[in-house]
Amino acid sequence: MGLLTFKKGVHPPDMKLLSKDKKIERLTPPKILYFPVAQHIGAPAKTIVKKGDPVKVGQLIAEAVGFVSANIFSSVSGTVKGIEDRLNFLGTKTSMIVIENDEKYEKTEFTLLTDLQSANIVNKVKEGGIVGLGGATFPTHVKLSPPKDKPIDTVIINGAECEPYLTSDYRLMLEQPQKVVEGLKILMKALGATKGYIGIESNKPDVLKKMHELCEKESEIETVALKTKYPQGGEKQLIYAILKRKVPAGGLPMAVGVVVQNSGTAAAIYDLLKEGKPLYERIITITGNGVNEPKNFLVPLGTPINYLIEKAGGLKENAAKIIMGGPMMGFAITDLTIPAQKGTSGIVVFTDKEVYGEDYDVCIRCNKCIDVCPMDLAPYQYALLGENERYLEAKDWNVLDCIECGSCVYICPSKRPMVQFIKLEKAAITAEMKKEKKK
Q: Which residues sit at the interface with ligand SF4, rule CB under 6 A? A: 363-369, 373-375, 377, 379-380, 383, 402-408, 411-414, 416, 418-419, 422
Residue 374 CB, shortest distance to ligand SF4, in Å, is 6
Measured distance CA(88)–CA(73) in Å, rounded: 18
**Interacting residues of 414 by C-beta distance below 8 A, sequence separation 6+:** 360, 361, 362, 363, 364
**Residue (70 or 383) nearer to ligand SF4, CB:** 383
**Interacting residues of 215 by C-beta distance below 8 A, sequence separation 6+:** 181, 198, 221, 222, 223
**Residue (295 or 416) nearer to ligand SF4, CB:** 416
Is-cis flag, bond preceding 231, omega within 30? yes
**Residue (25 or 387) nearer to ligand SF4, CB:** 387
Identify any residues that bridge with 318 across adjacent strands, giving them in sequence order.
none
**Residue (241 or 363) nearer to ligand SF4, CB:** 363
Residue 61 CB, shortest distance to ligand SF4, in Å, is 35
Enumerate helices (H) and strands (E) in the chain, giving the number of each: 12, 17
Residue 294 CB, shortest distance to ligand SF4, in Å, is 27
**Interacting residues of 367 by C-beta distance below 8 A, sequence separation 6+:** 380
**Residue (284 or 408) nearer to ligand SF4, CB:** 408
**Residue (187 or 383) nearer to ligand SF4, CB:** 383
Measured distance CA(426)–CA(374) in Å, rounded: 18
Residue 370 CB, shortest distance to ligand SF4, in Å, is 7
**Residue (184 or 418) nearer to ligand SF4, CB:** 418
Nearest Cα neighbor of 13 from 163, 161, 124, 150 is 163
**Residue (126 or 416) nearer to ligand SF4, CB:** 416
| 3-class secondary-structure state, position 99 | strand
**Interacting residues of 438 by C-beta distance below 8 A, sequence separation 6+:** none
Residue 371 CB, shortest distance to ligand SF4, in Å, is 8
The Cα-based distances of 426 to 23, 420, 436 in angstroms read: 39, 10, 15
Measured distance CA(226)–CA(328) in Å, rounded: 19
Q: Which amino acid is at 314?
A: G
Residue 396 CB, shortest distance to ligand SF4, in Å, is 15
Residue 234 CB, shortest distance to ligand SF4, in Å, is 8
**Residue (342 or 416) nearer to ligand SF4, CB:** 416
**Residue (63 or 404) nearer to ligand SF4, CB:** 404
Residue 409 CB, shortest distance to ligand SF4, in Å, is 7
Identify any residues that bridge with 284 across adjacent strands, giving them in sequence order.
297
Q: Which amino acid is at 4?
A: L
Nearest Cα neighbor of 166 from 281, 19, 13 is 19
Give the Cβ contact number of residue 175 at 10 Å: 14
Q: Say if CB 236 and CB 253 are below 8 A apart.
A: yes
- Beta strands (DSSP E) in 276-435 are 281-287, 295-300, 319-324, 331-333, 346-351
Torsion of CA 387, 393, 399, 400, to 10 degrees: 130
Residue 394 CB, shortest distance to ligand SF4, in Å, is 10
Residue 412 CB, shortest distance to ligand SF4, in Å, is 3
